Amino acid sequence: MVTYLYNEIFCSKRMNKIQKFTGRFMEALVKACGYMTALTVILIVLFLFSEGISFFSMRPTEDNTALWVNKSNTVQQLSATQVKDVFDRKITNWQEVGGANMPIQLFTIDELAETFTEDQLGKSFEHVPRCINAFIDSVPGTLAFFGDKQTEAGLPAARRMEMAKISFIGFVSGTEWFPTSQPVASMGIMPLLLGTLLVAFFSIVFALPLGLAAAVYMAEIADDRIRRVLKPMIELLAGIPSVVYGFFGLVVIVPFVQEQFNLPVGETALAGSIVLGIMALPTIITVSEDALRTTPRYMKEASLALGASHWQTIKNVMIPYAGSGITAAAILGIGRAIGETMAVLMVTGNSAIIPHSLLQPVRTIPATIAAELGEAPFGGLHFKALFALGCILFVITLVINLFVELVLKKRDKQQ
């Protein structure tokens, strides 16, 4: 009875039709998923770049604010760094920025309240523009900073000092990162860029020899039993959340680095490189082990037949054969290291200084984005600067991935 029913249902023509229909339906569904994924990627990239590129048409001052100087002042323009130094009182004379020899007098809303009485300012602050104007007029060395609201009535004695728009070159070559400094943000990403590349590069320098050795051991030397234990353990390494690596790094590696090198501070590029190296290990081991395994059997056998030892075969036949695969593993590892955020944020100290050695704190691009996006006002200058950073990070990883494609293509040709 059961057999009869089974045949009736599954072998009838109608069933065939249904099967065909389900087949087509599933194909369409899979296709739709594929397109949707591609579309999502494109949308993300478009969003990233539309936000990031609009950054370069902005001025480094806050919206609706401006700097004002006395009309007689000969200084036409100040750079963002100069303004920052003036407000930090590191520059105190106009001579230092190419002007006449007179002291710089800062004048902001705080000084306004200290200089003038409430009566002078008016009940609803209606006399504020007049007071500002009077002050700038009487003190020729004034550098005033006010919102447009307070100056919209016009300041006849003053000249508005426009800040230069942010340029791509200035953004990349600038050496100071003070995105929230008032009144002018200085945004130079050179320290961040160098920090990111330094940490990523040295993480691979540490991880590649270790990873390659482990891959050789797993592919050739280890017997089955050991491999069955080792392989899942290494894969597990890829599954540990990065914040756990970060915490491990902060509590174990940072003090270790500090003691070994007798440093004043352990949060350094070196600590970051070590943590990232550990994190890149699974990628490197898995990819290079796969590459080593693709060595054709006949090549190995030919080498052994010629009298080469096992080690000589590995060294002279297998590793050269898998060379491009191993290169791909290293580049993929770098890609992972460049984009890593949380672990680096916790162990590198995050000082935005241009690194001169591995034993200094560094600040990386992903760490900067993660740490600062929370407070950056939506759509503002700082917000867009972080998106521009994201674009640069994207371009770096894109170049790296293209490079991997190129290397792997070369390998396919070799075979």
Interface ranges with other proteins (CB under 8 A): 2, 5-6, 9, 62, 65, 84, 87-89, 109, 147, 149, 176-182, 191, 250-251, 254-255, 258, 264-267, 345-346, 349-353, 361, 363, 370-378
For residue 132, the minimal CB distance to other proteins (Å) is: 14
For residue 119, the minimal CB distance to other proteins (Å) is: 20
- CA-based torsion, 225, 211, 276, 238: positive or negative: negative
Question: Residue 202 and residue 179: Cα distance in Å, rounded?
Answer: 28
DSSP-derived letter for residue 334 is: H
For residue 130, the minimal CB distance to other proteins (Å) is: 18
Closer of 111 and 137 to other proteins (Cβ): 111
For residue 57, the minimal CB distance to other proteins (Å) is: 22
Closer of 339 and 349 to other proteins (Cβ): 349
Closer of 196 and 258 to other proteins (Cβ): 258
For residue 30, the minimal CB distance to other proteins (Å) is: 21
Q: Is 143 helix (H, G, I), strand (E, B) or coil?
A: strand
Question: Residue 325 and residue 258: Cα distance in Å, rounded?
Answer: 36
Closer of 124 and 415 to other proteins (Cβ): 124
Sequential DSSP letters for 199-243: HHHHHHHHHHHHHHHHHHIIIIIS-HHHHHHHHHHHHHHHHS-HH
Write out the two tokens for 273: 């490189």
Closer of 91 and 291 to other proteins (Cβ): 91
Closer of 307 and 374 to other proteins (Cβ): 374
Q: Long-range contacts: 253-257, Cβ < 8 Å, 24+?
A: 253/347, 254/347, 257/359
> Alpha-carbon dihedral of residues 151, 154, 155, 159, nearest 10 degrees?
90
For residue 46, the minimal CB distance to other proteins (Å) is: 25
Closer of 174 and 211 to other proteins (Cβ): 174
Question: Residue 163 and residue 381: Cα distance in Å, rounded?
Answer: 14
Question: Residue 215 and residue 208: Cα distance in Å, rounded?
Answer: 10
For residue 84, the minimal CB distance to other proteins (Å) is: 6
Please name the residue that has the structure tokens 């407070």: 375
Give Cα 378 distance to the centre of its chain. Answer: 19
Pairing of strands 65-70, 158-161: antiparallel
Question: Residue 67 and residue 83: Cα distance in Å, rounded?
Answer: 10
Closer of 176 and 289 to other proteins (Cβ): 176
Write out the two tokens for 355: 């690194």
Sheet with 142-147, side-by-side order of all strands: 105-107, 142-147, 65-70, 158-161
Closer of 123 and 225 to other proteins (Cβ): 123
CA distances from 151 to 63, 104, 163 (A): 14, 21, 17
For residue 396, the minimal CB distance to other proteins (Å) is: 22
For residue 140, the minimal CB distance to other proteins (Å) is: 24
Closer of 94 and 177 to other proteins (Cβ): 177
For residue 370, the minimal CB distance to other proteins (Å) is: 8
Angle between helices 365-372 and 381-414 (to 10 degrees): 140
CB atoms within 10 A of CB 247: 15
